Structure 1
Amino acid sequence: MTGGETDAPASMEKQFEDFRVKLDEAGSLRERIRAVVNEIESITRLMHASLLHVHQSRPLSGNKITSVEVLEKPKAQVDGLKELYGRLAEVLCECPGEYYRFHNDWRSETQTVVSLLAFMHWLETGKLLMHTEAEEKLGMNQAEFALDIEDYLIGLCFLSNEMPRYVVNQVLAGNYDCPRKVLRFLTDLHAAFRMLNLRNDFLRKKFDSLKYDLKRVEEVYYDMKIRHLANGDSAEDNGTQGQS
């Protein structure tokens, strides 16, 4: 047996020993990431449960609940989310340059977080939560730990999925101005998305759902126009219809 043949098993063994160490380290890191993500999921469930009250079409216990009151509980959870994303950033600091290696471990949860924050922001302001604003709220504005653009965009699509239900229940509650406002918002959001060259298949599918959401809100608004229930001046309405 030659020297080269003797060395082959040893070098193979060393290589696989190195693999074992690296895989164990990655597994340990992923477990720590998952622990933080589980806490993020718990907070988002609480936020979502609180926000469900905005969909009520009838007053609760005889008293009409305003969006300001509904937002108190979920808004109180935002600082907790920021702290958890800070812990996530600390874990990832141990493996610089490998953000996207572990990205899938918190991607879905972050998309949900963005949708909740964007919905809360819209309820408060009637405007879109910008990418930089979402990053600031979550503390994801570091060079090595930023909010992925596709996660932000998918979160906005999840936001649009909430709008048709919100519009219908607001109309049932007597808020006849809501469809016009939501239609204008979704029309602008849809137009902004059309500027993008979407290569991600999932994001493209979610964009298709946004178009469907817009259509459903349009139907509610036009039905109200026919019934002479819609508020707003005709010039603004015509401008909205021209964009859709």
Structure 2
Amino acid sequence: MSDAPVTLLPREVRLVVERILLLTRLPAGSVPAVRDVVLYSAAAGLGGLPLLQRRFDDLRSVNLASIRISETAPGHLAVDAGGQHAWMVLPLLLDALGEAVARHGAALATVEHVLDAEELGAACAMGPRAGLTLFTAAGACIGPANGPDAALMRADAPLILLAAPAADATDAVLARVLRDGLRVEAPLWWELHHLSNTSLSPDTPESRRHAGPVIVEADGRIIGRSDHDDDTDLSLLTEAPAAKATKHEAA
């Protein structure tokens, strides 16, 4: 196996990251949103997939119920992340900022007690897809052009995000990744790929017969499908080739 970096498309990253998140306590309905945060983190030059590997054990014990978001003044949000990872906070924070911007024209959020606070910078990359432009309190967007600014992300200081309506809702980050892909070190990628496979059922003859919407018994009987809800003609699997041709010609 080559150790040369591999170039990945968003579909590949999303598939593997989603399977890994299924190994955590993250509610299934929140998995797609957090999956995309990891993708944008990688695309924005933040922690991305290497951080996913390092933080996997911490992510397994996620508890979204510990996150608190309150509006202390019109358009001013106070976020206590309860020690949760920034990736888990971001989908909730973006929703709250979007709602506050819709009501007040602009919004500000102060985030405290968050793990890997620099990853909240992915909000700048994700903003346009939510119709938002986001900045740090210093006015520098942390994203694909700038990279993380450690001075703005001290572990002992709250992070302040400013949000306003986006003048251009073009998702430039996703467009770039769709065009150019993401380059990842091959050993890291395959380690994550193998980890993601542990979320799947073991591959056995029995599991293969139970894959999909029906059960196929060992003797070939099919359970879970009736004629009125499926038009598959299983006789095509047993007819002789000549009979198949005659049948299709007649149709």
TM-score (norm 2): 0.25
Higher helix share: 1
Q: 1 or 2 for the larger relative contact order (CA 8 Å, sep ≥6)?
A: 2
Higher strand share: 2
